[in-house]
Structure 1
Amino acid sequence: MRKLVYLHDVVTLNLDETRCSGCGMCLQVCPHGVLAKHNGSVEIVNRDACMECGACAKNCPTAALSVKTGVGCATAVINYALGRNSSSCCCVIEPDAENSNQAPTQSSGCC
């Protein structure tokens, strides 16, 4: 399976496992599969796929999740303007492990 990547090592998403009740509300609202339920609580499984929309944090009844919404997208736009990225799109789709010789491809409509 190919993995969606938003921005490497920029995402501000944080999970306080001690506050997580395991309700799974965040799983229902996350559009990129950043979180997964494991052993009764939620864990971050693909941090770089987080587009920092804030839906998980807004819907978490125990305030276990926090994120600075919009930070990643702003970073992508600035990097593009400075010539650090080949595209202004925030997301790329990385090839799966079986096809690791494929180049990453751009995804549209993420911001």
Structure 2
Amino acid sequence: MCIHRRPIHPSTHIPIPPLLTSVLKLISIGLLLWLTSVAPARAEFCRVVDGHRICIVNIKRSAKNYWQYQAMVSIDGSELPRASYDCRERLITDLDGNTASFRSRQDGRIVCSLYRRRG
């Protein structure tokens, strides 16, 4: 018993009207523009301490010493240069090598509050 199937020829497909293809192109271009124009979200961890808004703009934990962080912090909207935060010794070291204690700066306590949660 042999079953014969008819081959489907390209000429038997249903044609799409030109207006529909134009509308689909416009919708896809609009969707593409909308997806590429969405601004990325910038999530900051902020706290208000002694009337100052202190935010962690960028933070990276040391791979070698989990109690050390490299972070950029903003205080009342002005960003401070990247600094190293040693949560064990409670010291902040800036790029020039100057060291300050957490007593003189509040940003160290906020950065290291993440260490206490994770460590």
Shorter-chain-normalised TM-score: which range? under 0.3
More helix by share: 2
With the length of structure 1 as denominator, give the TM-score of the two structures.
0.22
Q: Which has the larger radius of gyration?
A: 2
Q: Which has the higher contact order (CA 8 A, sep 6+)?
A: 1
With the length of structure 2 as denominator, give the TM-score of the two structures.
0.21
